Structure 1
């Protein structure tokens, strides 16, 4: 993997750490060292990453079953195996997917992977500025917002700081969507019944605080407030290992939900 002057290979990034956790090759030594530090403090971090990818698969599948064929993936990272368009096209071959990420490496590699596919785009933009995201050519020219669109913020919104208004960001996305659209999210939290898992999540956030993309954990109340105005599909806001699946594995300290715009 080669870098360029505008890529800081010495500072770990969330997209590249996640890529490494999933077994990808688009990462640097700094990302691998940060991942090792995470695993030391949060031994289940890699398994949580895979659980998050499984949650994405179930969310996209649910949206396809609802008849949605357009997807906006915020904070998409690098489209490794199990990406949105790969999942969606199993049920909806005509599916269109606009990927958005702030990380330069993720966008560069996404362009290489997605080249030649007219129904998929990748845009470098900041999800904290929904107006800019929605107006970007790669989004506005690919997706028809007069029809239902599924906006996905999977393991992305915990990079929004506590100084920023998460409910306003989600609301700005929601109000741009036609009825029948969906908004799916997963988000780390230490608001858990398991004190050990809560401690591990706080430790993970401490590691991420040293990266280019600090992560911020939120309570169930804060996450519920962020989803205000959406009709949450059953089972509501739950650990991602409990969302429309059965698992005997422990909770991941990541909550997930899928809401419908009415």
Structure 2
């Protein structure tokens, strides 16, 4: 077995924040005598989320068993995910910030599944995965991330399942979304559909795409962390992982 040192493109602030969550959790449950201290456990989880290393690789690098690495990661991810904002609180914050609109978009988190697992198969993306709904500011900063649904669930249905459309209406926010949300609600603006559209509709679609584009980069920012690029764990953990990443990205933001 060979070992090497590697850099992790995250700040000390993020490590200290995660370690603090672990430390307080250990004190609350009166956990003692662990092989890794709180900062080491926090670093283990940051490596897992950012670099996508397997549990076996993490275990070897930190000198612990694979099962222990798995327990430490799941424990910390749940602590982080619990700190993610709830939908209505997140939308209230967006409204107070004075954003002219927010962007609603779905993303597929690929998973390691076989063709027989039809509920997880997304016809739109032509691969197996989990559907996540993401609300972002016009600048592409994540406001809120949903839990995970099987990839076969259409975006507009997922938005209704999570109560996103009602919450957005209640918050008084204008929403820009792609054609997958056509007919969702009056406050959800989508591009015109169909072929051979008249010139005014084509112009409106171009303006809509220009406004929506930066906000849709929020989904890409989630996948700068390697773990959501393809999950090899339980598919239903996709939501916890995305929420944990959202919390960490917020801590990484300048001025926090």
The two structures have a TM-score, normalised by structure 2, of 0.28
Looking at secondary structure, tell me which structure has more helix per residue.
2
With a CA cutoff of 8 Å and minimum separation of 6, indicate the structure with the bigger relative contact order: 2
